């Protein structure tokens, strides 16, 4: 059976770094190391209450559309203030 050029080229694709980091975090957790991984974009802890309230308020205010980077100056300002307090 003849292999497809696509299948052959897939062997040249490097594994995803995100998947590799997530896999390593899982291995560390299994060995008893306390790990918080944010590699795949989803926190492995509960959303803090204040963030939940802010999200629900944003939904009530109709702020439900995704906007590209640079369009949320107020959010960037809040993040900057939070970082400064820490």
- DSSP helix, strand, coil percent of the chain (3-state; round to 5): 50, 0, 50
pLDDT at 50: 93
> Domain limits at 77?
5-85
- Consecutive sets of 10 residues in the chain, 86 residues long: mean pLDDT of each? 73 85 92 86 81 93 77 72 74
Residue where the block lists tokens 């559309």:
65
Residue where the block lists tokens 């594994």:
15
pTM of the model: 0.42
Domain count, the chain: 1
Query: With the CA atoms of 69, 74, 77 and 81 taken in that order, what torsion angle do they form, in degrees rounded to the nearest 10?
Result: -130
pLDDT at 1: 55
């Amino acid at each position: 059976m003849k292999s497809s050029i696509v299948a052959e080229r897939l062997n040249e694709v490097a594994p995803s770094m995100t998947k590799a980091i997530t896999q390593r975090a899982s291995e560390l957790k299994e060995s008893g190391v306390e790990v918080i991984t944010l590699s795949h974009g989803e926190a492995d802890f509960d959303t803090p209450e204040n963030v939940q309230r802010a999200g629900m308020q944003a939904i009530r205010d109709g702020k439900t559309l995704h906007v590209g980077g640079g369009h949320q100056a107020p959010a960037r300002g809040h993040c900057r203030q939070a970082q400064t307090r820490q």
